[in-house]
Amino acid sequence: MDARAADPDTYRALVIGGKPGNRLMTAVARALPAAQISVVPDLSSAVGCDADPPPDMVLVWTTELLPDVSASVEMLVRRLPGAAILVAETESCPADLRKLLEAGVQDVVMAPESGDNPDDDRFQEVVSRALYRSAFVRRLRAESETDALTGLMNRRGWLRAAEAALHACRRSNAPCLVFMWDVDNLKAINDTLGHDAGDAVLRRFAEALRGALRASDSVARWGGDEFVALTPGASAQQADRIHRRVMEEFHALPTAEPRNPGVSFGSAQWTPSSELTIADLLSIADRCLYANKAEAGRHSRAHGKTYLQGVNAKHD
């Protein structure tokens, strides 16, 4: 949920088809002494697991990509976005370089042919360069997707994370909720107590979201006084309880202000039978939030049932 949660100085590599002690694993360990190296036996194991956090680099034997090399690579790229994918070929199983590069592989490297010579210079150079470059890009992306004031994801980061979370819910046949919160009267706080006081309120509400929601939930400052979250596995019946938990955390945090401001919210449910997109869910939650403000006043606990029915009908 927090864009800074993952250690930026940790390098992560995934080896597909490696086995402890074989020549490929020995060479990888020598090439990447500072990396956390995970091993899976085959391609299906790699695409079937939810790596959290995802690897910076994937190294796969050519034999694991057969029979359809392009489809296998494209599946890896789709499941592990942002990871540099390298293919280790052998003389007995050479790689089709053009086909691999077109599919999204970053480079092809000859695997060490002998356990007596795991220190192959070319192998070490290619593998280490790919890992460190990918990790550097990851750090840059994390910075570009982090809200500087609260440390949560920003809008850009959340949209990417939410799409991935929705895809995971679709694969696991699980529902999810999208929330939108709005801190009431923040402008009045800024005008009367100063912008430092307003910033403190936003940081405190972000801390409440961290405390109330799970690490698996995607949470962000949407902009201004608005925050959003996607909670996998949650249903509409849980929306009120989740919001109450957030507010309990918010009110429990120490504050220099005379009283905490109110917080309005709206939510929208996605189910496996739904064709709603992230944009649809945000629109529903946003309309619910402002309907709550207009019709039910502050601290409303309504969720997006009425609007949800209307948007579902649009997609039928």
pLDDT tens digits along 69-109: 888 888 888 888 789 999 988 777 777 888 889 889 999 99
The full set of domain ranges for the chain reads: 11-144, 155-301
112-140 mean pLDDT: 80
Q: Enter the CATH code of domain 155-301.
A: 3.30.70.270
**Contact, 288 vs 304, CB < 8 A?**
yes
**Contact, 183 vs 225, CB < 8 A?**
yes
What percent of the chain stands above pLDDT 90?
Answer: 52
Concatenated DSSP letters for 241-275?
Answer: HHHHHHHHHHHHS--SSSSPPPEEEEEEEE-TT--
pLDDT (0 to 100) of residue 314:
32
Element (H, E) at 178: strand 176-183
Q: Do the two domains 11-144 and 155-301 of this chain adopt the same fold?
A: no
Is the C-alpha dihedral spanning 69, 70, 73, 74 positive or negative? negative
- pLDDT per residue over 28-37, tens digit each? 888 898 899 9
Which comes out higher in pLDDT, residue 270 or 297? 270
pTM greater than 0.85 (yes/no): no
Average pLDDT, the chain: 85
**Contact, 1 vs 213, CB < 8 A?**
yes
Residue 39, pLDDT > 80, answer yes
Residue 4, pLDDT > 90, answer no
215-229 mean pLDDT: 97
Sheet holding 35-40, edge to edge: 35-40, 11-16, 57-61, 84-89, 107-110
Q: Does domain 11-144 have CATH number 3.40.462.10?
A: no
Query: At 22, is the pLDDT very low, low, confident or very high (cuts 50, 70, 90)?
Result: confident
Which comes out higher in pLDDT, residue 70 or 161? 161
Query: At 302, is the pLDDT very low, low, confident or very high (cuts 50, 70, 90)?
Result: very low
Residue 164, pLDDT > 70, answer yes
**How far is it, in rounded angstroms, from Cα 193 to Cα 171?**
48
Highest mean pLDDT among 36-45, 93-102, 112-121, 254-263: 36-45
